[in-house]
A and B are shown apart, each in its own frame.
Chain A
Amino acid sequence: MARKREKKQNDPKLQNKNGLSRRDFVKTGAVAGLGAAALFESGGTQAQGATTGAEGMVWDYEVDVVIAGGGCAGLTAAIRARDLGATVLVIDQNFDVGGRMLHSGARVSLGGGDPVQHRDMKGESDKEGFVTVDSFEDPEELDDNIDLLFTDITDWSVVDPKAQSPYRYNDRELVRAWAENCPATRQFLIDNYVRFTRISGTHGGGGLSRARAARCFLMLGDKTDMKAGTITAEDAGRVDLERSSAFAPVQMTNASRDVGPNAVSNGVALARPLEFSAREKGVEFMLHRSFDELVREQPFSGRILGITAHYSPRQHPETGELLQSYWRNGNIDERQQTVNIRARQAVILASGGHAGNPEVRSMFYPAFREPAFPTSGVALQGPQGQDAAALRAGLRVGANLAGMQQNLSYGTTFHISTRLGTRDAYTTMMPGHPTFGFRGSAGVNVGNAGFEDFIAVNQVGKRFFSEVRLPRRPGVNSYPGDRGAPGQGLEHTPLDWRNCRKEWVRQMYNYDHGLDAALAMNEGSKPPHYFSGPLWAIFDEDAIERTGWELRYPYVADNGYFFKADTIEELALKIAKGNEFQRMPLKYLADTVSTWNGYVEAGIDPEFEREADAPMNPIATPPFYALSIMIIWHDSYGGLRVNGRQQVVDMQGEVIPGLYAGGEAVGGFNKHGLGKGHVHGYIAGTHAAEESGS
């Protein structure tokens, strides 16, 4: 297990020869890993020109494998490395384990002839007999193999409805290793208490030829028991439509049609079983702890020896109490400001992507430096959840990057959410989970259809696009239904030039640039950043009559993302005063509304031709309302470059010894979410445990 070292009795091999304190190391520049210095209490002192290597480092903990991030890739890697005999410490900046995986829909797209594909081909049940519905897919559509999967995921001929061809950029070595490990990873997940529904299609970049995605489920029962596969209705959030639980931040959905009576599904049925298994097997966790720096023998050469990490307490938004993880066995309660953790064999970076870091985002799309727009799941994850920690630390020890353009070719990377009136607009969450207070409101999910019932305005109160077209997202290339190629499933011919001939692309192209208009500069955009500012849905009482939207707690709250007033002028004032990112008055709002009402009367919108998309309704009956509209940067694709063993590679093409990475922390693979992260974790855990170390 992770061995805590007493400060004064360091490993002789690592002992500082001069007998200096840690602060002295910093001052004399004896710590490698460059920015490591910035962490120490000395307030930003930099170890300038630190070239003396890390032999003087004082380690607080020592373990075989250290994993930064206990989500999808991290938990999988932890269990795998532990199964192979390594001692494993997972550190996570959050108060609970699971990362975005806990928030997710748990559609896990693997394939290559994986055990669930085989099960469904034969129409069999699972070993516990929970799955009682028939298979959805015909046996031929499940008849998969590794070569076909590999071909699918590197198929240059598949073009998406944005006229991009994302599979062509996928790194071949990485994807080959991924495809080869898909069947074993599916079995691994099953062996660690994860249960899968019937397969239905593929998910996010999972290929066009075969059906490969299944969701995870638990069965409603008298107690919550991962071994038995049961969960109480209360823990699942199935008792009260307006209540989440501490166990399940997102209420679980009814999966009876995909499994059998009483089955419920979402990321909880994936993350909690894995967490349970990891703790049962002796993986240790240090929570409230943010990883900052990698410690390398020399700044740009030698092995990775460990990490430094700072205390990042997450406190209850109302009471200020330190938040506690749902399960605590295996937790190390460490509150020291900074700790140095020695990894005898390997460090695995699994801390997710950069979607929550506006500065890093701006290297892909400068307008996204606008901090008004968050990533998905900010309440659960906190502001440090997706802050590019792995990318930043990797670059400081010489790592290369990969797939930096791939953010631009995935349908959910960024888009306008249909959930209004909350900053955390991608995800749903109800009161009952301790982080609900960070968002304050669940939001009102109006669907695409709801966008015809309001006008959308920018920070100065002007319309900027046809509202109806704003939330439309182009599909990603998955089977079936997303029209990535003329043929789907068995009818898809991989690598056929006809898939991307321009006649076909013209026919299926389906992208409106509403998002770009939403991020565009307006009169309120000021140098040097030219922020575009928040977006608002403006409507009147009649809209509520038409739609049935419930504008009450917990859907909306007095949290700066929902306003109500008797006049438009007053509404504009309230928004300007009440929202943290609204930097100016919405000076045109009243004019915009009266102009709009004129368009409605005339039946014509000369600015955006709204009449072509849906009926137009006046905004005239008080009270008037404003709900925030969010642009969400959901997931990350560019990141650290890794090889087929998930080892991080430097700018010379050399492996950085002892350093692995997976999930959204890495680039080079335009595949969404879980299917990617679990396999990465599985591969990284395997090889990390085999390292002879130092």
Chain B
Amino acid sequence: MKIVVAVLTLVFMTAPIALAQQEIDQMTSVWEGVFTEAQANRGQAVYDGACGLCHGRRLNGAPDDPDMRSTPPLARAKFLREWEGRSLAVLFEYTRATMPENNPGSLTDEEFVDVIAYMLSVSGMPAADEELQPDPQSLARSVIQQQP
């Protein structure tokens, strides 16, 4: 149960900077179809078992067990505001390093991107034909934005 603070600091500080200018030009918005419907469905199943207890069935940060305290929402307006301007790579690295809070490291990278696809789909983003890949390089090209 160890939270890798160092990893996080690194991710938050360096990820945006690490992008070269032409890569920034190639950035796509998460609203442009970055996952598939099947992937989001797989993500829902993972979410249900690994995240729902704390982040709630509706991804709004209301835990299913009321004895547990509220957590940050993982979809919709407030979540997007929180993550606005950061890339999916940052979200991926943060989540992979720290979540599920009671057992970080218990999910595979594939499962994490599937959950992210699910989070995006609940936020209203459209699905498309290509799956989101658990590869920091390509994730770094998708930027989170509040509006399409």
A and B co-occur in one complex: yes
Identify the closest chain B residue to A241 (Cβ). B57
User: Which single member of A107, A137, A452 contacts B78 (CB below 8 Å)?
Assistant: A452
Asked if A534 lies at the interface with its beta carbon under 8 angstroms from chain B, I say no
Contacts of A419 in B (CB 8 A): 62, 66
Asked if B64 lies at the interface with its beta carbon under 8 angstroms from chain A, I say yes
Query: A445 to B67, Cβ gap below 8 A?
Result: no
Contacts of A137 in B (CB 8 A): 1
Asked if A428 lies at the interface with its beta carbon under 8 angstroms from chain B, I say yes
How far, in angstroms, from A266 to B65 measured CA to CA in the complex? 8
Q: B53-89 interface mask toward A, CB cutoff 8 Å, 1 = contact, 0 = none?
A: 1001110111011111111110011100100000000
How far, in angstroms, from A105 to B63 measured CA to CA in the complex? 11
Query: B103 to A200, Cβ gap below 8 A?
Result: yes
Asked if B148 lies at the interface with its beta carbon under 8 angstroms from chain A, I say no
Asked if B100 lies at the interface with its beta carbon under 8 angstroms from chain A, I say yes
Contacts of A418 in B (CB 8 A): 62, 70
Q: How far is the CB of B5 from chain A (nearest CB, A)?
A: 13
Contacts of B100 in A (CB 8 A): 257
Q: B94-105 interface mask toward A, CB cutoff 8 Å, 1 = contact, 0 = none?
A: 000000111100
Query: A446 to B49, Cβ gap below 8 A?
Result: no
Query: A136 to B106, Cβ gap below 8 A?
Result: yes
Asked if B48 lies at the interface with its beta carbon under 8 angstroms from chain A, I say yes
Query: B1 to A445, Cβ gap below 8 A?
Result: no
Query: A447 to B49, Cβ gap below 8 A?
Result: no
Query: B76 to A471, Cβ gap below 8 A?
Result: no
Asked if B27 lies at the interface with its beta carbon under 8 angstroms from chain A, I say no
Query: B70 to A489, Cβ gap below 8 A?
Result: no
Query: A446 to B67, Cβ gap below 8 A?
Result: no
Query: A412 to B70, Cβ gap below 8 A?
Result: no
Query: A257 to B61, Cβ gap below 8 A?
Result: no
How far, in angstroms, from A473 to B1 measured CA to CA in the complex? 23
Q: How far is the CB of A449 from chain B (nearest CB, A)?
A: 4
Identify the closest chain B residue to A482 (Cβ). B69
Contacts of A107 in B (CB 8 A): 65, 67
Asked if B50 lies at the interface with its beta carbon under 8 angstroms from chain A, I say yes
User: Which single member of B66, B69, B72, B76 contacts A105 (CB below 8 Å)?
Assistant: B66
Q: A105-B68, A489-B1 are in contact. Are A447 and B61 (CB under 8 A)?
A: yes
Query: B70 to A253, Cβ gap below 8 A?
Result: no
Query: A136 to B60, Cβ gap below 8 A?
Result: no
Q: How far is the CB of A310 from chain B (nearest CB, A)?
A: 32
Q: How far is the CB of B144 from chain A (nearest CB, A)?
A: 17
Asked if B52 lies at the interface with its beta carbon under 8 angstroms from chain A, I say yes
Asked if A29 lies at the interface with its beta carbon under 8 angstroms from chain B, I say no
Q: A253-B53, A547-B76 are in contact. Are A446 and B1 (CB under 8 A)?
A: no
**B60, B81, B101 interface centre (most CB from chain A within 10 Å):** B60
How far, in angstroms, from A417 to B48 measured CA to CA in the complex? 23
Contacts of A481 in B (CB 8 A): 101
Query: A447 to B53, Cβ gap below 8 A?
Result: no
Query: B106 to A427, Cβ gap below 8 A?
Result: no
Q: A138-B1, A419-B62, A448-B70 are in contact. Are A254 and B102 (CB under 8 A)?
A: no
Q: How far is the CB of B108 from chain A (nearest CB, A)?
A: 12
Identify the closest chain A residue to B53 (Cβ). A253
Q: B101-126 interface mask toward A, CB cutoff 8 Å, 1 = contact, 0 = none?
A: 11100100000000000000000000
Query: B103 to A547, Cβ gap below 8 A?
Result: no
Identify the closest chain A residue to B81 (Cβ). A615
How far, in angstroms, from A136 to B106 measured CA to CA in the complex? 8
How far, in angstroms, from A10 to B46 measured CA to CA in the complex? 64
Contacts of A615 in B (CB 8 A): 81
Identify the closest chain A residue to B75 (Cβ). A548
How far, in angstroms, from A319 to B62 measured CA to CA in the complex? 34
Asked if A181 lies at the interface with its beta carbon under 8 angstroms from chain B, I say no
How far, in angstroms, from A211 to B102 measured CA to CA in the complex? 11
Query: B65 to A105, Cβ gap below 8 A?
Result: yes
Q: A141-B1, A253-B53 are in contact. Are A136 and B102 (CB under 8 A)?
A: yes
Contacts of B70 in A (CB 8 A): 418, 447-449, 471-473
Query: B62 to A546, Cβ gap below 8 A?
Result: no
Query: B66 to A254, Cβ gap below 8 A?
Result: no
Q: A448-B70, A481-B101 are in contact. Are A257 and B50 (CB under 8 A)?
A: yes
How far, in angstroms, from A452 to B106 measured CA to CA in the complex? 33
User: Which single member of A138, A203, A211, A449 contacts B61 (CB below 8 Å)?
Assistant: A449
Contacts of A582 in B (CB 8 A): none
Asked if A646 lies at the interface with its beta carbon under 8 angstroms from chain B, I say no
Query: A445 to B58, Cβ gap below 8 A?
Result: yes
How far, in angstroms, from A104 to B64 measured CA to CA in the complex? 11
Q: A107-B67, A266-B65 are in contact. Are A254 and B48 (CB under 8 A)?
A: yes
How far, in angstroms, from A254 to B53 measured CA to CA in the complex? 8
Query: B60 to A450, Cβ gap below 8 A?
Result: yes
Asked if A480 lies at the interface with its beta carbon under 8 angstroms from chain B, I say yes
Identify the closest chain B residue to A448 (Cβ). B70
How far, in angstroms, from A481 to B98 measured CA to CA in the complex? 12
Q: Which of A207-260 contact B (CB under 8 A)?
A: 211, 241, 253-257
- 7 A-B residue pairs with Cβ-Cβ distance under 8 Å, sorted by A, are A104-B67, A201-B102, A253-B65, A254-B53, A411-B69, A448-B61, A449-B78
If A204-B67, A673-B67 are given as contacts, then 15 extra A-B residue pairs at C-beta distance below 8 Å, sorted by A number, are A104-B67, A105-B67, A136-B106, A253-B52, A254-B52, A254-B53, A257-B49, A266-B65, A412-B67, A426-B66, A428-B66, A447-B73, A448-B61, A449-B60, A480-B1
The 5 A-B pairs at the shortest CB distance, nearest first, are namely A447-B62, A105-B65, A447-B61, A448-B70, A445-B62
